[in-house]
Amino acid sequence: MKRVLDMVAAASGLIVLAPLLLVLGVAVRLESPGPALHWSRRVGRRNQLFLMPKFRSMRVGAPDVATHLLAEPGAWITPLGRFMRRTSLDELPQFWSVLSGDMSLVGPRPALFNQDDLIALRTAAGVDALRPGLTGWAQINGRDELPIADKAALDADYMTRMSLAFDLKILWLTACSVLGRRGVAH
């Protein structure tokens, strides 16, 4: 049932948001050289790597690490990228990953391929069995502000509480968090 809802919501989202996606894609291309989308190597279900699209918010040539690990993130993030990150608009292309089955609407956020500490903690807790999500329990409980161990613990908590009602609650709280622009460090 969850997969069917994911597919319907992702397809609907891509159709309804197509004009906005087009405008954002053009704006990214006009602001700085390079592609509109960045295909990030992420860890998915059962620790399989997949490519996850995001609107490019950093300059071409930025190191492929979590933003908080950069010495000066502000030097790499474009002005439009900063806005898109604060409003989560950079995440909209991930509806494609939900539609294709690499992701779900709700689940643990997919780790970067080189976040070994987070991957190890999730694997130890069995969270790697879940399809990663566009949003998740850890996202609405701190997002970028959370230490890795806390993210993994919240992901494990989500796994034990998974249900349609809990997913709907997370989606609602995500919308509130995005509108309030809470939890984004860069």
Task: Establish if 186 belongs to a structural domain.
Answer: no
**What's phi and psi for 138, nearest 5 deg?**
-65, -35
What pTM was computed for the model? 0.88
Using a pLDDT cut of 70, give the percent of the chain over it. Answer: 95
Q: Could you tell me the sign of the dihedral formed by the alpha carbons of 159, 151, 17, 52, in that order? A: negative
Task: Establish if 6 belongs to a structural domain.
Answer: yes
Task: Establish if 99 belongs to a structural domain.
Answer: yes
How many domains does the chain divide into? 1
Task: Establish if 185 belongs to a structural domain.
Answer: no
Task: Establish if 146 belongs to a structural domain.
Answer: yes
Residues 96-115: tens digit of each pLDDT:
999 999 999 999 999 999 89
Tell me what the mean pLDDT of segment 126-144 comes to.
93
Using a pLDDT cut of 90, give the percent of the chain over it. Answer: 77
Confidence at 186, pLDDT banded by 50, 70, 90:
very low
In the predicted model, is pLDDT for residue 136 greater than 50? yes
Task: Establish if 131 belongs to a structural domain.
Answer: yes
pLDDT of residue 76: 86
Q: What share of the chain is helix, strand, coil (3-state, %, to 5)?
A: 60, 15, 30
Q: 14-22: long-range contacts at Cβ-Cβ below 8 A with a sequence spacing of 24 or more?
A: 14/95, 14/96, 14/99, 17/92, 17/95, 20/89, 20/92, 21/92, 21/93
Domain boundaries, position 115: 2-180
Q: Could you tell me the sign of the dihedral formed by the alpha carbons of 129, 135, 138, 144, in that order? A: positive
Coil, strand or helix at 128: helix
In the predicted model, is pLDDT for residue 93 greater than 70? yes
